[in-house]
Amino acid sequence: MTDRTTYVALAGMRRRGWSDAMVRDLLGTPDVQGRDPRRWSLAPMRLYLLARVETVERTPEFTEAAALCRTRAAASGVHAERRRAAVLAAIRAEPIEVPLLPGPELERRAVRHRHLLGARSPGPRREDAPPEKAAAGPAPVPPPSGALVRWQVSYLRHALARYEALLDGLYGETGRGEAERLLRRRLYEAIAAAYPPLARECRRRIEVER
């Protein structure tokens, strides 16, 4: 059986400063390749003889490739940071236009939006459960005021979904979370400014959705 203590897996190569491209170009075919008997995986196991790895690491080709890899990684990081800063600046500068609706119309749209959400979900939360119908006819009984406030904020937040496009170009964790929090805060602040009776619920959501 192969003594694996003298071999390095691909993950170990990466920890030593190798990129996948460097492994392919400088080492070529793995010294050991096959399925790892210790665990099931679709990916083949690839092991490289440590002595061969260390020999290549002492060559000018490795030094040049490693330097190029670091340069590219630094450039990629600079680009990502610039993109993050640009997106944050755009979110801060973008005017947020909240639709201004008469109170009864906003309530009607909020209730309808909540009912549509409830129809698509396995079951509504107790606090936001849709109102029961009145016995005398099909018109719904007005929901409790607290629930109605939440529904109005949710509807207006949905109506502002187009501003999510400001996040385009941010992927993974590189500034995405920070940008999402900033955008949510700006949207809720705009809703609170347009509809002062909803300000308390907007502040609550800013705190909860950090």
Percent share of the chain, pLDDT over 70: 77
**Percentage of the chain with pLDDT > 90?**
49
- More confident: 102 or 137: 102
Query: For 88-100, how does the pLDDT look when each residue is reduced to its tens digit (9 = 90+)?
Result: 999 999 999 999 9
How many residues are present in the chain?
210
Query: In Å, how far are 51, 82, 94, 171 from 87, measured between CA atoms?
Result: 47, 9, 10, 12
- Is residue 59's pLDDT more than 60? yes
Cα–chain center distance at 210: 13
Pairing mode, strands 32-34 and 7-9: unpaired
pLDDT tier, 131 (very low <50, low <70, confident <90, very high otherwise)? very low
Tokens describing residue 71: 């340069």
* pLDDT tens profile 136-186: 444 554 555 689 999 999 999 999 999 998 888 666 555 688 889 999 999
C-alpha angle 119-125-127 in degrees, rounded to nearest 5: 120
Tokens representing 25 are 């170009």
Output the pLDDT for position 35: 63
Residues 12-39 have a mean pLDDT of 83
Q: What is the pLDDT of residue 202?
A: 96
| Mean pLDDT taken over the chain | 82
pLDDT of residue 2: 44
Q: What is the DSSP letter of 141?
A: P
